[in-house]
Amino acid sequence: MIFKYISIPELNFSKSWQDGSNKIKSLNSFEKTMTIFWLLGPFIYLIERDPADLWLTLISVIFLLRCIKHKDWDWTSQVWFKSAVALWSFGLFSAVTSTDPFFTFQQGFVWIRFPIYVAAAQVWLAEDRDIRVLMLLSMLIGMLLMCGILIAETLIEPKTRLTWPYGDLVPGGYIAKVSLPLFCVLMAVAVSKKSKVGMFSGIVGLLSIGVSALTGERTNFLIRAFGGILASIVWKPKFIMISLLVFIEVLAVLALFLSRPDLSSRYGEKFLNSIPISNTSDNNPYWGAWRGGIQQGLINPIMGAGPSGTRNTCANLDTNLPEWLPGKNYCGNHPHNFYIQLFAEVGIVGLLLGCVMFGSIINTCYKARFENFNCPMAATAFVVPFALFFPLQQFGSFYGQWGNLFTWFAIAFAISQFQGWRESK
């Protein structure tokens, strides 16, 4: 079987395929159905937002019903989940005190399904390592399918921003976020194994980062690039292999940019001119989105405007205030930065709770390194939330749907690598 040619002693796909399949077969019909349903996630995500949202929501609801039936709530004692619930609860309180309580309460209420999905993966569906390896294989197939789709779009309808298969400017989110745990494993293996497996991992990683650049999504490309670099140095790295891999990938990306001047401009001068912290002029909408969020947070620093409330209140701001804040507001759907959005929409309390949640998720994933450092999935798990929650980047909406579906899928797989919470009980 082909799996033996891509396996290493620390991550034996061939053995996990056999053992994982046998474990699924031994489950009762309900558990078997739900496990298979979970493993189909990367393929469902290739369809569209609504099927992906339904998939994640169903898993979250069924998990809660299962916990009620079995009276299994020990997992709720984890700091990352308690901080998520605290943030959610304060967001609802902020909503009812806002100028548009119905809209903001609705937006804030449905957000909780993302942390619940993460818990469902960690304590139920992905509890077993062999099952997690099967999901890694699903991610690999899904990522290769997406790469094929986007390469086909480039050949048939070449443009600076790709849209297939969704019809909007988000396919890079699938490449950069849904498959980020897989990419971290590929990079770790590529620089640690002087073998065909290491070569295969490097080639697949190179393919995916090239396609990520083709999408024209700069933030997602940087998440993938820097996440891959970090993953490559945290698990048994060989300096020569790291140097060679980085050299080849840089050459490949440069060749791509030289052959595509539109992409070269987008990732070069246009990108540098759009960085919010270095360009706070009136003509930078990226800084303008951050500025609008900061201004709204300063207006109501305790409660904020309510979850997703900034999309309705930004346009009513006096942009001459505060006088010390440079630039001009750009009022889109949200401030395009998780930390600024939390400050603007749930105030300083919500921001602090959000920081605790982000930090505890990263810390939980980092603990997986000590639990099973020999496994590249566990050793690189912390890179996923660190990259996705790194503060100095452009984000989607914290309370949004499509971007969160990508982000929390990856977070769930990463945090499932840590099962030590059971021993601490």
**pLDDT tens digits for 95-110?**
999 999 999 999 999 9
Question: What pLDDT sits at residue 194?
Answer: 87
305 and 353 in a common domain: no
347 and 334 in a common domain: no
φ and ψ at residue 401, rounded to 5 degrees? -110, -65
346 and 294 in a common domain: no
Question: What pLDDT sits at residue 338?
Answer: 98
What is the dihedral sign for C-alpha 401, 407, 409, 415? Answer: negative
Question: What pLDDT sits at residue 425?
Answer: 53
Structural domain contains residue 278: no
Structural domain contains residue 279: no
Q: Which long-range contacts (CB under 8 A, 24 or more apart) does 101-104 make?
A: 101/306, 103/306, 103/308, 103/309, 103/312, 104/305, 104/306, 104/307, 104/308, 104/309, 104/345
399: DSSP letter: T
**Model confidence over 318-343: pLDDT tens digits?**
888 899 999 999 998 899 999 999 99
326 and 243 in a common domain: no
Structural domain contains residue 2: no
227 and 294 in a common domain: no
215 and 311 in a common domain: no
Distance separating alpha carbons of residues 17 and 36, to the nearest angstrom? 13
Q: Which long-range contacts (CB under 8 A, 24 or more apart) does 270-278 make?
A: 271/218, 276/337, 276/394, 277/392
Structure-block tokens of residue 267: 């990732």
Distance separating alpha carbons of residues 387 and 404, to the nearest angstrom? 14
Question: What pLDDT sits at residue 252?
Answer: 84
Structural domain contains residue 277: no
Structural domain contains residue 1: no
How far lies 150's CA from each of 143, 200, 347, 359, in Å?
11, 21, 40, 34
Strand partners, 353: none
- Kindly give the interhelix angle for 180-190 and 129-156, rounded to the nearest 10 degrees: 100
Which of left, alpha, beta for 347 (phi over 0: left; psi -120 to 50: alpha)? left
310 and 226 in a common domain: no
Which of left, alpha, beta for 71 (phi over 0: left; psi -120 to 50: alpha)? left
Structure-block tokens of residue 98: 């806002």
**Residues whose CB falls within 8 Å of the CB of residue 254, separated by 6 or more in sequence, listed in order:** none
Which among 339, 355, 371 is the end of a domain? 339
Structure-block tokens of residue 403: 């971007």
Cα 199–178–151 angle (5° rounding)? 65
CA end-to-end span of the chain? 41
361 and 329 in a common domain: no
135 and 32 in a common domain: yes
Total domains in the chain come to 2
Structural domain contains residue 276: no
Structural domain contains residue 317: yes
19 and 90 in a common domain: yes
Which runs of E-coded beta strand occur in 233-386?
none
Question: What pLDDT sits at residue 291?
Answer: 96
325 and 406 in a common domain: no
pTM of the predicted structure, to 2 decimals: 0.96
- Residue % of the chain over a pLDDT of 90: 87
Structural domain contains residue 280: no
Select from 203, 79, 83, 67 the least CA-distant residue to 143.
203
Question: What pLDDT sits at residue 244?
Answer: 87
- Are 119 and 75 in contact by the 8 Å Cβ rule? The answer is yes
- Label residues 310-321 b or e (16+ Cβ within 10 Å = b): bbbbbeebebee
Domain residues for 302? Answer: 285-339
How many H helices and E strands in the chain?
21, 0
Question: What pLDDT sits at residue 424?
Answer: 57
- Are 406 and 178 in contact by the 8 Å Cβ rule? The answer is yes
Query: 3-class SS at 11?
Result: strand
290 and 185 in a common domain: no
Residue 334 CB neighbours (<10 A): 26
| Residue stretches of the chain with pLDDT short of 70 | 1, 424-425
Which among 319, 339, 359 is the end of a domain? 339
